[in-house]
């Protein structure tokens, strides 16, 4: 993929393994950084999967600061810093979620 922001975004889901191997994580929504052991919320697993290592590895991290599923770890190879998180934030949350309303007919 040519756009590094698009490529980075896929690391914000099913990222349990990557987060475990990261030393620093950041959130594309609130743009805060935190160590991986601050992440206590995960989505994507239900009670009958807790012993399934494949399902566990596909959990998605929730940001400990804002609760968004928008967490990246430095293991992804991307810089977890303010300039990068701010670019991710702009590219995704602002452009994809806030759209101009259609003109009324
Ligand atoms: Zn956040």
* 59-103 tens-digit pLDDT: 999 999 999 999 999 999 999 999 999 999 988 766 655 555 677
pLDDT score at 57? 94
Distance (angstroms) between ligand 1 centre and the Cα of 75 equals 18
In a domain, 47, yes or no: yes
The C-alpha atoms of residue 59 and residue 13 are separated, in whole angstroms, by 7
In a domain, 83, yes or no: yes
Please state which of the ranges 6-10, 24-28, 94-98, 99-103 shows the lowest mean pLDDT.
Answer: 94-98
Distance (angstroms) between ligand 1 centre and the Cα of 99 equals 21
Distance (angstroms) between ligand 1 centre and the Cα of 103 equals 33
Distance (angstroms) between ligand 1 centre and the Cα of 34 equals 10
Does residue 33 come out as left (phi exceeding 0), alpha (psi in the -120 to 50 range) or beta?
Answer: beta
Give the residue with greater pLDDT, 3 vs 48.
Answer: 48
Q: What are phi and psi of 54, to 5 degrees?
A: -70, -45
In a domain, 84, yes or no: yes
In a domain, 10, yes or no: yes
pLDDT score at 1? 43
For residues 4-23, one letter each, b for 16 or more C-beta atoms within 10 angstroms of the residue's C-beta and e for the rest, the string is eeeebbebbeebbebbeebe
Number of domains within the chain: 1
pLDDT score at 100? 59
Helix (H) or strand (E) holding 88: helix 82-88
**Residue 72's domain spans which residues?**
4-97
In a domain, 103, yes or no: no
């Amino acid at each position: 993929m040519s756009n590094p922001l698009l490529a980075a975004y896929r690391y914000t889901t099913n990222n349990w393994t990557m987060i475990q191997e990261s030393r620093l994580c950041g959130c594309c929504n609130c743009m805060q950084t935190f160590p991986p052991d601050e992440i206590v919320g995960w989505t994507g697993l239900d009670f009958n999967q807790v012993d399934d290592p494949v399902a566990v590895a596909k959990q998605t991290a929730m940001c400990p600061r804002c609760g968004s599923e928008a967490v990246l770890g430095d293991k992804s190879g991307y810089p977890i810093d303010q300039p990068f998180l701010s670019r991710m934030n702009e590219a995704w949350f602002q452009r994809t979620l806030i759209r101009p309303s259609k003109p009324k007919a």
